[in-house]
Amino acid sequence: MKVYLAGPEVFVPNAREILDRKIEMTRMAGFVPVCPGDLEAPASMTGKARGLVTSEINERLMLSADFIIANLTPFRGIAADAGTVYELGFMCGRGCPAFAFTNTTAGHFERVKDYYDGEVKADASGALRGPDGLELETYSMADNLMLDGAIENRNGVIVRHAAAPGELYTDLTGFKECLAIAARRLLG
């Protein structure tokens, strides 16, 4: 079985090293790894054209995969990386199993509450809202309900692990646990 390895580690300085570690760990777990960077746009392509071709290549890689393991660690803010979330949706839309990990144990509600510096109040109907009026989800989930729901409703898991601050995108403890769970559930 082929697994698409999605995550924001493609943006770290030693991305190649981290991806290679993930690839090696995936093979050890009995799966065939597929990840962004396996194929790249021609070096001559720049700007927006390069972005469009990269998107096309990554979608083609996803189409070759049977399931996904997504790194949902919050990225430049309180939510998971948008590219990774897109890829999670893409694979779920295809009907594939999904597993995920996040390198923070703080849940979605706690992070949004922190974003509002704790200034969260119930409205007349009891819904909790920030000072901007936007409602908070209160489902004890790792991220937006569509992400947690997608994964759990597909018999997947979201592994939460408290990585050291400097290792938010390089700690692969949660990834390893995802591989072990996926192996039990999909290769069993």
> Which residues here bind its own copies, judged by CB under 8 A?
8, 10-13, 15, 47-48, 50-52, 54-56, 58-59, 62, 75-83, 85-94, 112, 115, 123, 129, 133-135, 137-141, 143-150, 152-153, 169
CB of 52 to its own copies, least distance (A): 5
109 φ, ψ (degrees, to nearest 5):
-60, -45
Based on CB atoms, which residue is closest to its own copies, 120 or 183? 120
Based on CB atoms, which residue is closest to its own copies, 81 or 178? 81
139 φ, ψ (degrees, to nearest 5):
-100, 10
CB of 64 to its own copies, least distance (A): 13
Q: ∠ CA 31-58-13 to the nearest 5 degrees?
A: 85
Q: Kindly give, in sequence order, each residue whose CB lies less than 8 Å from that of residue 41, ignoring residues fewer than 6 positions away.
A: 50, 53, 54, 57
Q: ∠ CA 58-62-63 to the nearest 5 degrees?
A: 115
CB of 63 to its own copies, least distance (A): 9
Based on CB atoms, which residue is closest to its own copies, 14 or 32? 14
CB of 169 to its own copies, least distance (A): 8
